Structure 1
Amino acid sequence: MSPRDAVTRSALRRVRLGPVLVAGHRVVVRNTRLSDFPRWRELRLRDRRFIEPFWVTSALSWEERHRRRWWIREYLRQRRAMAAGRALPLSIEVDGEFAGQCNLMPIDPINCSAELGIWMDSRRAGEGVGSIAGGLVTDYGLGPLGLRRITAPAALGNRVARQSALRSGMILEATMIEAMSVNGRRRDHELWAITTTTAPPGGFVAALVTAGIHARYLPEEERSLRTRWNDFRRATVAASPPAVLAVATRYYLGAPLRWRWAPAPALLDVITGTDADGRSVSLRKRTGHWAFRRTRRVRYDAVAAGEPLGRLLLDHGEANARVTLEFSPEAAFTAAATTAVALLVDYAMNGLRIERLEARIDPADAHLAKLASAGGLRHEGVLAEARRDPDGGFHDVELWAATPSGATPSD
Structure 2
Amino acid sequence: MFAISLGGDGAELRPLEPWHAEDLLAHMERGRDFVGRHVGLPDRVTDLASSRSFLRSYAERAAADTGRLYGIWTDGRLVGGVLFRTMDTATGTAEAGCWLEPSAVGRGLVTRAARVIIDWAIEERGMHRVEWRVSSENEASIAVARRLGMTRDGVLRESYPHRGRRVDMEVWSVLAPEWRAAGPGGAAG
- Name the TM-score, length of structure 1 as normaliser: 0.43
Cα 1:158–1:20, aligned 2, differ >3 Å: closer, same or farther? closer
CA contact (8 A) 1:100 1:119 kept: yes
SS in structure 1 of the partner of residue 68 of structure 2: coil
Paired residue for 2:27? 43
For 1:266-317, what per-residue CA distance to the aligned partner results, in whole angstroms no more than 9, with x for missing partners? Answer: xxxxxxxxxxxxxxxxxxxxxxxxxxxxxxxxxxxxxxxxxxxxxxxxxxxx
- Find the partner of 2:7 among 21, 37, 49: 21
Report whether the alignment pairs 1:112 with 2:92.
yes
* Structure 1 residue identity aligned to 2:6: V
Paired residue for 1:283? none
Percent identity among equivalent residues? 19
Paired residue for 2:185? 204
- Find the partner of 1:164 among 122, 144, 150: 144
* Structure 1 residue identity aligned to 2:85: M
Report whether the alignment pairs 1:191 with 2:171.
yes
Report whether the alignment pairs 1:71 with 2:51.
yes
Structure 2 CA distance, aligned partners of 1:91 and 1:103?
9
Structure 2 CA distance, aligned partners of 1:92 and 1:20?
9
Higher relative contact order (CA 8 A, sep 6+): 2
Unaligned runs of 5+ in 1: 1-13, 212-411
How far has the Cα of 1:27 moved from its partner? Answer: 2.5
CA contact (8 A) 2:45 2:54 kept: no
Paired residue for 1:328? none
* Structure 2 residue identity aligned to 1:161: S
Structure 2 CA distance, aligned partners of 1:80 and 1:37?
15
Paired residue for 1:89? 69
How far has the Cα of 1:182 moved from its partner? Answer: 1.5
Structure 1 CA distance, aligned partners of 2:27 and 2:53?
19
For 1:165-184, what per-residue CA distance to the aligned partner results, in whole angstroms no more than 9, with x for missing partners? Answer: 11111100011112221222
CA contact (8 A) 1:17 1:29 kept: yes
How far has the Cα of 1:17 moved from its partner? Answer: 5.6
How far has the Cα of 1:188 moved from its partner? Answer: 1.0
Please list, as runs of the form range in 1=range in 2, the aligned pairs for 1:363-402 lying within 5 A after superposition: none
Return structure 1 stretches of 4+ with deviation > 6 angstroms: none
SS in structure 2 of the partner of residue 54 of structure 1: coil
Cα 1:38–1:73, aligned 2, differ >3 Å: closer, same or farther? closer
CA contact (8 A) 2:35 2:101 kept: no
* Structure 1 residue identity aligned to 2:23: R
SS in structure 1 of the partner of residue 6 of structure 2: strand
CA contact (8 A) 2:17 2:59 kept: no
SS in structure 2 of the partner of residue 72 of structure 1: helix
Structure 2 CA distance, aligned partners of 1:179 and 1:121?
25
Report whether the alignment pairs 1:55 with 2:39.
yes
Unaligned runs of 5+ in 2: none
Report whether the alignment pairs 1:155 with 2:135.
yes
Structure 1 CA distance, aligned partners of 2:70 and 2:134?
19
Larger radius of gyration: 1
For 1:129-181, what per-residue CA distance to the aligned partner results, in whole angstroms no more than 9, with x for missing partners? Answer: 22111111111111112211110111111111111111111100011112221
Instruction: Give the length in aligned residue pairs.
Output: 188
Structure 2 CA distance, aligned partners of 1:29 and 1:51?
19
Query: What's the C-alpha RMSD, in Å, of the aligned pairs?
Result: 2.1
